[in-house]
């Protein structure tokens, strides 16, 4: 695994949100991350490592170093 994907220059672990490296901390859940970022949970959709994560599963979804998270505005309607 390339070092640039897992750690910052100071060797601290990272994960990626929409392609941008973020510092990782053990036990951080997807719900906590959204709260820290100020994202309203009901207005965004999430995918972790390419897999959709339903709203009700976010509090139980723990982020790991090296994870790739996509957060996007959910658009409904036709």
**Mean pLDDT across the chain:** 88
> Which pLDDT score, from 0 to 100, does residue 9 have?
60
* Of residues 77 and 66, more confidently modeled: 66
> Which pLDDT score, from 0 to 100, does residue 2 have?
45
The C-alpha R_g of the chain, in whole angstroms, comes to: 13
Whole-angstrom distance, CA of residue 8 vs CA of residue 76: 37
pLDDT digit string, tens, across residues 15-33: 999 999 999 999 999 999 9
> Is-above-0.85 flag for pTM?
no
Give 3-state DSSP helix, strand, coil % of the chain, rounded to 5. Answer: 25, 35, 40
Q: Is residue 24 within 8 Å of residue 65, measured between CB atoms?
A: yes
């Amino acid at each position: 695994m390339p070092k640039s994907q897992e750690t910052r220059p100071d060797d601290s672990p990272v994960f990626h949100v929409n392609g941008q490296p973020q510092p990782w901390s053990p036990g951080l859940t997807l719900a906590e991350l959204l709260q820290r970022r100020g994202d309203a949970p009901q207005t965004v959709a999430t995918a972790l490592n390419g897999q959709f994560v339903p709203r009700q599963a976010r509090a139980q979804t723990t982020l790991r170093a090296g994870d790739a998270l996509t957060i996007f505005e959910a658009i409904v309607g036709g």
